[in-house]
Amino acid sequence: VSVEARPTVVEVARHAGVSVASVSRVLNGLPSSPTMVEKVLAAATLLGYRPNAMARSLKVQRTDQLTFAMSDVGNPVYVTMMRAVERVTRSEGYRLMVSSVSSDPGEVLALLRSLRHSYADGLVLSPIRLTGELLEELHHPAVPTVVIGTVPASVPVDNVRANSAGGVRLALAHLYETGRRRVALVNGPVDTVPGSARGRAFDRQAARLGVSRDLELRVEADDFTLAAGRKAAIELLARCAGSRMPDAVLGGNDLLAIAVMQVLREEGYDIPGDVAVVGMDDTDLGTVTSPSLTSVSLGSEQRGTLAAQLLLDRLRDVDRPVRRVTVQPTLTIRGSSAPKAGRR
């Protein structure tokens, strides 16, 4: 089987005995006579014609490609978002490119700038850190962009936000109701957007409930990962030897919470008997641990879906007003936070 050169509109036109314009019209569903349609389709089928996407893009100034950029494919949350974004954009005929930039803002910036090469029509960006440069770039992005995550109101970009504060409130309220009074926070880096939001919300809600006043109950992991979580958990235990132990821990995300569970168990603590653990993001990971992990869903799938929809809307109308939508959190109670005694 030899390799045939791919046929072009010109050859289809010749075979059909018509003009290239007619071929293009038929292929794009523009009004044409039935006999014309038939002739063109016959020739196209015969030759196995496939339009060249690049040539088309150059002409119509549109690539039918979108980019999704996230900071860490290792985190299941981003996989969920990616899948949601892919599902809705694909259904609208777009191809999706993924770019797993690291959490380094420089890389994100490079990505944003690279979009000036016009290889994609739009971008869904889920950054974890926001620098001035990045915000500046978001003021006039190379292509329509929607950010998953919170950006300052001064930045005129569509974005879909998680309600971290509400999520923290949900988690703390639940722990409080189930009798926990000494709740620790194993947070991610506070120089990240979610890290700082969750940290502040925790302080506020803890104060409101009148619990967890000790600053030693706040630890900050270097990253939102299992490894960093272990390290942070060990630090927490070192600080809170004996009587100062927390009776609950809130993790900045599921990975941190799971790491905390592991360390606690290794140290002989019972979960949820001695200490309850709650995570955030409600990833599948939380369903496979024992006990399973109570977690606050920040709606990652929904955020992905919404982001994709905002982007598609923006693509349809570049001048529409900026939209910022917030997804509400929900709490899924599982084994890791069952009440201590028989109380409810």
Partner DNA sequence: GTGAAAGCGCTAACAC
Partner DNA sequence: GTGTTAGCGCTTTCAC
User: Shortest gap between Cβ of 131 and a second copy (angstroms)?
Assistant: 19
Nearest to 337 by CA among 288, 298, 291: 291
Distance (Å) of CA 139 to CA 127, 322, 335: 15, 12, 45
Peptide bond into 272 cis (omega under 30): yes
User: Shortest gap between Cβ of 291 and a second copy (angstroms)?
Assistant: 9
Cβ-proximal residues to 75 (8 Å cutoff; 6+ apart), any chain: 224, 225, 253, 255, 283
DSSP string, 293-312: PEEEE--HHHHHHHHHHHHH
Binder among 42, 45, 46, 58 for DNA (CB under 7 A): 58
- Distance separating alpha carbons of residues 89 and 94, to the nearest angstrom: 5
Distance (Å) of CA 293 to CA 13, 29, 89, 228: 63, 53, 32, 18
User: Shortest gap between Cβ of 81 and DNA (angstroms)?
Assistant: 32
Q: Return the number of the residue (84 or 183) whose C-beta is nearest a second copy.
A: 84
Interaction partner, residue 139 (a second copy, DNA, none; CB < 5-8 Å by kind): a second copy
Over the window 175 to 194, marking each residue x when it contacts a second copy by CB under 8 A and - when it does not, the resulting string is --------------------
Interaction partner, residue 91 (DNA, a second copy, none; CB < 5-8 Å by kind): none
Residue 307 sits at φ, ψ, to 5 deg, of -60, -45
Residue with tokens 């504060």: 165
Q: Return the number of the residue (24 or 289) whose C-beta is nearest DNA.
A: 24
- Distance separating alpha carbons of residues 147 and 310, to the nearest angstrom: 10
Binder among 79, 109, 165, 190 for a second copy (CB under 8 A): 79
Interaction partner, residue 285 (DNA, a second copy, none; CB < 5-8 Å by kind): a second copy
Q: Return the number of the residue (76 or 299) whose C-beta is nearest a second copy.
A: 76
Window 59 to 78, contacts with DNA (CB under 7 A): 59-61
Q: Tell me: does residue 45 bind DNA (CB under 7 A).
A: no
Contact assessment for residue 127 and residue 138, using Cβ atoms and an 8 Å cutoff: no
Structure tokens at 29: 């569903």
Q: Helix H segments across 119-192? A: 132-139, 164-177
Over the window 219 to 238, marking each residue x when it contacts a second copy by CB under 8 A and - when it does not, the resulting string is -------x------------
Binding-site size for a second copy (CB under 8 A) equals 44
User: Shortest gap between Cβ of 101 and a second copy (angstroms)?
Assistant: 10
Interaction partner, residue 244 (a second copy, DNA, none; CB < 5-8 Å by kind): none
Positive or negative, the CA dihedral 312, 313, 317, 320 is: negative
User: Shortest gap between Cβ of 53 and a second copy (angstroms)?
Assistant: 4
Find the length of the chain: 344
Q: Return the number of the residue (100 or 131) whose C-beta is nearest a second copy.
A: 100
Q: By CB under 8 A, name the binding residues for a second copy.
A: 1, 3, 6, 48, 50-55, 57-58, 63, 65, 73-74, 76, 79, 82-83, 86, 90, 95-100, 116-119, 139-140, 226, 258, 262, 265, 284-285, 287-290
Q: By CB under 7 A, name the binding residues for DNA.
A: 5-6, 8-10, 17-25, 27-28, 31-33, 35-36, 49-52, 55-56, 58-61
